[in-house]
Amino acid sequence: EVQLLESGGGLVQPGGSLRLSCAASGFNFNNYGMTWVRQAPGKGLEWVAVIGYSGGHINYADSVKGRFAISKDNSRNTVFLQMSSLRAEDTAVYYCAKVREEQRVGVGVDFWGQGALVTVSS
Amino acid sequence: QSALTQPPSASGSPGQSVTISCTGTSSDVGGYDYVSWYQQHPGKAPKLMIYDVTRRPSGVPDRFSGSKSGNTASLTVSGLLAEDEADYYCSSYAGSSKPYVFGTGTTVTVL
């Protein structure tokens, strides 16, 4: 059974930093890309970042480019999202999600974690 | 890139069908067969319902079906059940530099 468990969310001041983690199990993590998707309160889904299975293919949404960094530790079955220069508009539930096919990036995601709430406020 | 356009709401009575549209451009929906649909109940994580425009993951009822014509994809839910009341989002591949774009979301109400 695929399981994705996010951690690291919380309250942070504008301009601050936070690192989210997503621990994966139930599939061969080494062979799959991973994504982060966020959802602001009462709003729709917004893709944030994707990383390829080996960590060699990385893309970001324009809204976070230069401020967020995605990384993948295949030895720990964990994907990370390092967020810096946080703004109020980054307040959202952040979901990690598994790319549906091995060694692909843009074919869609199939399993999602339960999400981690990040609140940016003074 | 801009979000894909979905109607804000749709509704139907139990047993009826509802169809949700997802309109993009030739750079996303119209250019690739990587359209997915997700169902999200309040306070829950999204769940994959359709992938590759028309395919259903195992465990998803065949009441859910997908299609595409030009730059518009559609999700049809037939034989509506109370449990189908949820938000639905489409997603499409949008090119190598911005691989994912989501739709604006549609709230389906079972009357």
Residue A2, pLDDT score = 96
Report pLDDT digits (tens) over B50-109. Answer: 999 999 999 999 999 999 999 999 999 999 999 999 999 999 999 988 899 999 999 999
Give, as one character, the DSSP assignment of residue A108: -
Task: Reply yes or no on whether the pLDDT at B38 is more than 70.
Answer: yes
Q: How many CB atoms lie within 10 A of CB A47?
A: 25
Residue among A45, A46, A105 whose CB faces B46 most closely: A45
Q: To which H or E segment does residue A22 belong?
A: strand A18-25
Residues 6+ apart with CB under 8 A from B52: A107, A108, B33, B34, B35, B36
CB contact under 8 Å between A95 and B45, yes or no, is yes
* Among A residues 3-32, those touching chain B with beta carbons less than 8 Å apart: none
CB contact under 8 Å between A61 and B98, yes or no, is yes
- In whole angstroms, give the CA distance from residue A45 to residue B3: 10
Residues 6+ apart with CB under 8 A from A45: A37, A38, A39, B38, B40, B46, B89, B91, B102, B105
Can you tell me whether residue B75 is helix, strand or coil?
A: strand
Q: Average of pLDDT values for B37-44?
A: 97
Task: Reply yes or no on whether the pLDDT at A43 is more than 80.
Answer: yes
Q: Chain A contacts of B100, Cβ < 8 Å?
A: 35, 37, 47, 50, 106
Task: Reply yes or no on whether the pLDDT at B1 is more than 90.
Answer: no
- Which residue on chain A is closest to B44 by alpha carbon? A114
Residue A88 bridge partners (DSSP):
none
Residue B97, pLDDT score = 86
Residue B65, pLDDT score = 98
A11 Rama sector, left if φ>0, alpha if ψ -120 to 50, beta otherwise: beta
Strand arrangement, sheet containing A68-73: A3-7, A18-25, A78-83, A68-73
Residue A56, pLDDT score = 85
Residue among B52, B95, B100 whose CB faces A50 most closely: B100
Provide the mean pLDDT of chain A. Answer: 96
- Which residue on chain A is closest to B33 by alpha carbon? A107
- In whole angstroms, give the CA distance from residue A72 to residue A30: 9
Handedness of CA B42, B48, B54, B60 (dihedral sign): negative
